[in-house]
Structure 1
Amino acid sequence: MMAYHEQNSDKQWTEVIEPSTSLLNINLKEVWRYRDLLFLLVHRDFVTFFKQTILGPIWFFVSPIFTTIIFTFVFGNIAKISTDGVPQVAFYLCGVTLWNYFSSALTATSSVFKNNAAMLGKVYFPRLIMPLSIVVSNLMQFAIQFGLFILVVIYYVFKGTIEPNWWILATPFLIALMVAYSLGLGMIFSSLTTKYKDLSMLLTFGVTLYMYATPVIFPVSVMPENLRPLVELNPLTAIFECFKYGYLGAGHISWGMLAYSTVVIVITLIIGTLVFNKVEKGFMDTV
Structure 2
Amino acid sequence: MIQPRTRLLDLGLREVWRYRDLVMLFVRRDFVSTYKQTILGPIWFFVQPLLTTITYVVVFSGIANLDTGGVPPLAFYLAGVTIWNYFAQALTATSSVFTANAAIFGKVYFPRLTMPLSIVLSNLVRFGIQLGLFLVVWAYFTLTTEAIHPNSALLLTPLLVVLMGGLALGLGMIFSALTTKYRDLAMLLTFGVQLLMYATPVILPLSKLLSLPNPYRWFILANPLNPIVETFRYGFLGTGSFSWAYLGYSLVATVVILLLGTVVFNKVEKSFTDTV
TM-score for the superposition, normalised by structure 2: 0.95
Indicate conservation of the 8 Å contact 2:53/2:74, yes or no. Answer: yes
Partner of 1:134: 119
Amino acid of the residue matched to residue 164 of structure 2? M
Describe the SS at the equivalent of 1:125: coil
Q: Which amino acid aligns with 2:150?
A: P
Taking the aligned partners of 2:235 and 2:170, their CA distance within structure 1 comes to 26
The answer for the alignment partner of 2:254 in structure 1 is 265
The 5 A counterparts of 1:235-246 are 235-246=224-235
After superposing the two structures, state which structure 1 stretch, 234-243 or 19-28, moved more.
Answer: 19-28
Taking structure 1 as the reference length, what is the TM-score of the superposition?
Answer: 0.92
Amino acid at match of 1:180: G
Unaligned runs of 5+ in 2: none
- Cα distance, 1:242–1:199 mapped onto 2, change above 3 Å: same
Secondary structure class of the residue paired with 2:252: helix
Could you tell me which residue of structure 2 aligns to residue 169 of structure 1? 155
Which one of 253, 266, 270 corresponds to residue 281 of structure 1? 270
Shift of residue 35, structure 1, vs aligned partner: 0.3
User: Retained in 2: the 8 A contact 1:21–1:278?
Assistant: no
Deviations, residues 172-215 of structure 1 (Å, cap 9, x unaligned): 11100000000000000000000111111111111111111111
Q: CA deviation at 1:18?
A: 3.4
Instruction: Find the aligned partners of 2:201 and 2:241 in 1 and give their Cα distance.
Output: 10
Task: Give the equivalent residue in structure 1 for 2:14.
Answer: 29
Matched, 1:106 2:97: no
> Which deviations, in whole Å up to 9, do the C-alpha atoms of 1:64-121 show, x marking residues without a partner?
1110010001001111111111110000001111111111100000000000000011
Tell me whether 1:56 sits opposite 2:41 in the alignment: yes
Q: How much does 1:21 deviate? A: 4.5
> Residue 223 of structure 2: which of 211, 220, 234 is its match?
234
Distance 1:238 1:95 in 2: 12
Distance 1:39 1:20 in 2: 29
Structure 1 gap segments, 5+ residues each: 1-15
Which of residues 193, 209, 224 is equivalent to 2:179?
Answer: 193
Residue in structure 2 matched with residue 81 of structure 1 by the alignment: 66
Aligned pair partner of 1:72 in 57, 68, 72: 57
Q: For residue 219 of structure 2, what is the amino acid of its counterpart?
A: L
- Matched to 1:210, the amino acid is L
Alignment check: 8 A CA contact 1:214 1:231 kept = yes
Count residues in correspondence.
Answer: 272
Amino acid at match of 1:178: M
CA RMSD of aligned residues (A): 1.3
Deviations 1:112-132 (A, max 9, x none): 000000001111000000000
Deviation of 1:163 after TM superposition, in Å, equals 1.4
Structure showing greater radius of gyration is 1
Letter in 1 for 2:241: H
Give the alignment partner of residue 82 of structure 2, picking from 97, 101, 106: 97
